[in-house]
Structure 1
Amino acid sequence: MTSTTAPPQAATTRPQTASIVIQFVLTGIVWGSSFLFMKVALGGISPAQVAWSRLLLGALALGLFVVLRRDRLPTTGRIWMHLTVVAVTFCVVPFLIFAWAQQHVSSGLSSIYNATTPIMTAIMAWAVLRVERLKPGQIAGILIGILGVMVIIAPWSGMDATQGIGAQLAILGATACYGFSFAYMRRFLADSGVSALVFSFLNIGLAAAIMLLLTPVLVLTPVRLDAGIVLAVVLLGFLGTGLAYVWNQNVLRAWGPTRASTVTYITPVVGVTLGVLVLHEQVSWNEPVGALIVFAGILLAQDRLRLRRREA
């Protein structure tokens, strides 16, 4: 959680900075694993049921933390209105799109497309909602991150054209929703005074309430459950849609929307690793090299790796 008082000493700032970095990395790992969880869950339940389940389980997990910490809910109608907008654009719509699209594309390809979120966020934050100005270093970091993703994809070896073009375009629409949501939070909810935990709970909780209203239309279809599908849904809900959202809110408040959204650069790296460990996929030289380039892009985008300037 962020503090309202300024840290009196640099020694106090360092642990806070380290904590934000750790939460940033953990969020990327959990969200990168979510694509595998969705793919497994789709083996027995529908895309709408995947989105419905993860939102309800995430809301339950976050609600439990709110009760244990006895955090207060906001009382201003304006905050509730903005939170409802974020619930739709950051959860309901993209969750439904990703779950539907993964019927037609691989989980690895979905995680790679998810890495376009920083680009979408930069566009939304700069051109649409005008909450940030991009520095040359941030632009360079975003471009280097894209280069790393392209190295992982390895387009020179030929791409699989059998995967649905419509589904791929839909995923890009979902990442545009994420980009809009990051910038929207920065503009309308940065000074809400709501803790990161309560913010995440209301974000997921309002989205879960919307999905509950849509249950008769979207969710009442046959299911086929086994241990693997149940485990995937539980992990997707409690971790990917629960705890990881608290971490993401802490990072967003500390770094801003453009840099916080670079967490999606980690997801292709996680996707490649899970492909080896779980799906027994082969790894070629371009995948670890691309991962290193991606992390270099993250450092630049966060202003942690700077080029030396010429002295006057």
Structure 2
Amino acid sequence: MPESHNPAAIRQTMTGSDWGLLATLSLVWGGSFLFNGVAVRELPFLTVVTLRVGIAALALHVILRIMRVALPRGRRVWGSFIAMGILNNVIPFSLIVWGQSHIASGLASILNATTPLFTVIVAHYFTTDERLTGHRLMGVVVGFVGVAVMVGAAALAGLNANVLSQIAILGAALSYGFSGVYGRRFKSMGIAPLATATGQVTASSVILLPFALYIDRPWTLPMPSLAAILSILGLALVSTAFAYLLFFRLLARAGATNAGLVTFLIPVSAILFGVVLLGETLEPRHIAGMALIGAGLLLMDGRVLSAFSAKRPAAHGSG
């Protein structure tokens, strides 16, 4: 249902601090690929996902206590937390991990980068201040092409195989699109980003725990290595607890469409982590892809096009 009113309308153009939040968020979510890669070698995916949101929830509850911030009560608020947890954690986390077990990570990252496409469409129909414009659509398309160029043609080798896995990743991207739009309501409800993040991962933990206990029977698993344990902690504390504090703050300030742009930057972060930490090579296609992603972000922001449009009449008149 479209929003009928919005007392604090979302900014169409992001500020410098908004871009800083977006870049930081891309780093902490880009790092999750490293953490996941280690953890899933020793633990089932449902256990990994449940530990991720469960430990994050515990950490955020501790922060709430330290900062003396009360977690909202009431059926309506917790109904919203549950819905957000399902859209932003339970569905996408499960679909992505299952999908990546059948297709290459490069192809998965391309499919996941369709999130801004879905977000633009969902926001157009379900909000009043994030309508679809030409420069937004152009920016999303250019950014998506940049992701495809950066990841490379080799990732498309299995495009026609494992169709269900590919649909699963696209389903996760669609779920993220809806979660970005749905999550805007917490600002109008007067709920702080810290409380929103805590409520969401708490609801997700309660939903996922029974499934992980029943399906994975984690008490029967061998003790994971120190590397796996540290990866789970990094995944929970850095790539979930801290990440969602950033995400909900950015969502409240810049809207679902702009917040969804982080999925363009996550592959950039992942590649840069590989270069810096793993000694991988930065290839020309990586640089070209990053340049296209940067161009797409500038188009989405709109200020470059606005400045260019403003100069054109003046130039015409002076001739």
In 1, distance between residues paired with 2:268 and 2:158? 22
Kindly indicate whether the alpha-carbon contact (under 8 Å) linking 1:265 and 1:295 is maintained by their aligned counterparts in 2: no
Kindly indicate whether the alpha-carbon contact (under 8 Å) linking 1:139 and 1:301 is maintained by their aligned counterparts in 2: yes
Amino acid at match of 2:140: I
The equivalent of 1:139 in structure 2 is: 137
Higher helix proportion (structure 1 or 2): 2
Instruction: Write the mapping of 1:220-259 to structure 2, written as runs, cut at 5 A.
Output: 220-221=217-218, 222-223=221-222, 225-259=224-258
Instruction: Write the mapping of 1:170-181 to structure 2, written as runs, cut at 5 A.
Output: 170-181=168-179
Give aligned pairs, total.
Answer: 296
The equivalent of 1:3 in structure 2 is: none
In 1, distance between residues paired with 2:201 and 2:301? 27
In 2, distance between residues paired with 1:263 and 1:45? 27
1:42 to 40, 43, 53: 40
Name whichever of 295-304 and 20-29 sits farther off: 295-304
The equivalent of 1:9 in structure 2 is: none
In 2, distance between residues paired with 1:256 and 1:86? 15
In 1, distance between residues paired with 2:304 and 2:215? 46
C-alpha offsets along residues 137-177 of structure 1, whole Å, 9 cap, x if unaligned?
A: 2112111101211211333x673328743322211111111
Question: Unmatched 5+ residue regions in structure 2?
Answer: 1-7, 9-13, 315-319
Please give the TM-score of this superposition, normalised by the length of structure 2: 0.85
The equivalent of 1:182 in structure 2 is: 180
In 2, distance between residues paired with 1:133 and 1:299? 17
Name whichever of 188-197 and 158-167 sits farther off: 158-167
Shift of residue 17, structure 1, vs aligned partner: 4.2
- Alignment RMSD (CA, Å): 2.4
Kindly indicate whether the alpha-carbon contact (under 8 Å) linking 1:107 and 1:271 is maintained by their aligned counterparts in 2: no
Question: Unmatched 5+ residue regions in structure 1?
Answer: 1-5, 7-15
Name whichever of 194-203 and 136-145 sits farther off: 136-145
The equivalent of 1:10 in structure 2 is: none
2:25 to 27, 43, 52: 27
Kindly indicate whether the alpha-carbon contact (under 8 Å) linking 1:32 and 1:111 is maintained by their aligned counterparts in 2: no
Shift of residue 29, structure 1, vs aligned partner: 0.9
Kindly indicate whether the alpha-carbon contact (under 8 Å) linking 1:47 and 1:99 is maintained by their aligned counterparts in 2: yes
In 2, distance between residues paired with 1:158 and 1:269? 15
* 1:197 lines up with 2:199 in the alignment: no
C-alpha offsets along residues 162-211 of structure 1, whole Å, 9 cap, x if unaligned?
A: 8743322211111111001111122x433110001001110111111212
Query: What is the DSSP-based 3-state SS (H/G/I as helix, E as strand, rest coil) of the residue aligned with 1:273?
Result: helix
Kindly indicate whether the alpha-carbon contact (under 8 Å) linking 1:42 and 1:103 is maintained by their aligned counterparts in 2: no
